[in-house]
Amino acid sequence: MSRNTKDKRTAAELPPELTQARRFGKTRTAQSRALLEDYVELISDLLATGGEARPTDVARRLGVSHATAIKTITRLKREGLATGLPYRGVFLTETGHALAERMRTRHRLVVNLLVALGVPTEIAEADAEGIEHHVSDATLKAFSQFLQISASTRASRKS
């Protein structure tokens, strides 16, 4: 098969340009939001367990420099997700709390699905960190329905 024939076949298998552009655009947007979502979720966890979320703690737990944490926390404040006072910790706004809860729910759903498929829990937790940011609401709904059906099936087998 000549190179030209192979190139034409590959090009014919590509999705339409606008469809492909939409897919890549969705991924770029998700990557940009993923960072903020991780920060908000971690800040919420730190506030719940220790009553305070200091930039130093955020940086250590995310494995980033203090300067990087400060830069991202500033972005969280600018986007209305967090507040803070000089020499104090970071606090979430109502919008920030809602986002943290949404991400926590998405994370749990993805972990539960992966575990139901036989993925070891530790690996499922790590993999969910990426998947939770990129998966659509429609796919999450399908995950949830699958888990409900799967649970019903297991329950009926026990009866």
DSSP for 64-111? Answer: --HHHHHHHHHHHHHTTSEEE-TTS-EEE-HHHHHHHHHHHHHHHHHH
Q: Which residues contact 121 (CB under 8 A, 6 or more apart)?
A: 111, 115
Model pTM score: 0.76
Q: In one letter, which amino acid is 19?
A: T
Query: Which pLDDT belongs to residue 151?
Result: 81
From 25-34, 65-74, 82-91, 139-148, the region with the lowest mean pLDDT: 25-34
Tens-place pLDDT, residues 111-147? 999 999 999 999 999 999 889 988 889 999 999 999 9
| Contact (CB, 8 A) for 143 and 110 | yes
Residues 106, 112: Cα–Cα separation, whole Å: 10
3 state SS of 115: helix
Which CATH number is associated with domain 17-158? 1.10.10.10
Query: Which pLDDT belongs to residue 43?
Result: 97
pLDDT band at 6 (very low <50, low <70, confident <90, very high): low
Residues 14, 69: Cα–Cα separation, whole Å: 40
Length of the chain: 159
Residues 15, 34: Cα–Cα separation, whole Å: 26
Surface-to-core class of residue 138, CB atoms within 10 Å of its CB (0-12 exposed, 13-18 middle, 19+ buried): exposed
> If you average pLDDT over residues 94-107, what whole number do you get?
96
Selection from 124, 96, 77 nearest residue 37 by Cα: 96
CA distances from 87 to 16, 58, 67, 143 (A): 52, 14, 15, 43
pLDDT band at 9 (very low <50, low <70, confident <90, very high): low
Tens-place pLDDT, residues 16-62? 888 877 877 776 766 778 899 999 999 999 999 998 999 999 999 99
